[in-house]
Structure 1
Amino acid sequence: MFQRIVTFFEKRSFGVCTYLADKLNMSISKIRLFFIYSSFLAVGFPIVFYILAALVLDVRHYIKKIRLSIWDI
């Protein structure tokens, strides 16, 4: 049951931690823990960074999707 909940949130999350972990060659869990601990220490600033990074990644994904559809013509 718990594993199904974790899988649900991992599939529908923004992918910011996964993207950062791939770029920095680190574990995803370490990146997630960093965001959790730093949000307690910095009074929510990492949450703002996470949301902005999610928007940037979403826009990049949308632009790549448009580029691929133009070349498919």
Structure 2
Amino acid sequence: MKIFNHLKFFFEKHGFHVSSRLADALGMRASSVRIFFIYLSCVTVGLWFVVYLILAFWMRLKDLIRAKRSSVFDL
């Protein structure tokens, strides 16, 4: 358990340091940079879900347009 807490503290310390250095370079607050990354991750997850829905609709539409005939005599 102690190793887990030490590892967690290490990643929190260095992870937040990246956000604060980026915020200093851009002249912004570090909390704004962190919020931006949170929103960006939500948007990218949602974007792939929308792409999945579009592809599913497209495949369904393709199946409806192209009739499946079992033999030549089903014309």
TM-score range, shorter chain: 0.3 to 0.5
Q: Relative contact order (alpha carbons < 8 A, sep ≥ 6): 1 or 2 greater? A: 1
TM-score scaled by length of structure 2: 0.42
Larger C-alpha radius of gyration, 1 or 2?
A: 2
Q: TM-score, normalised by structure 1?
A: 0.43
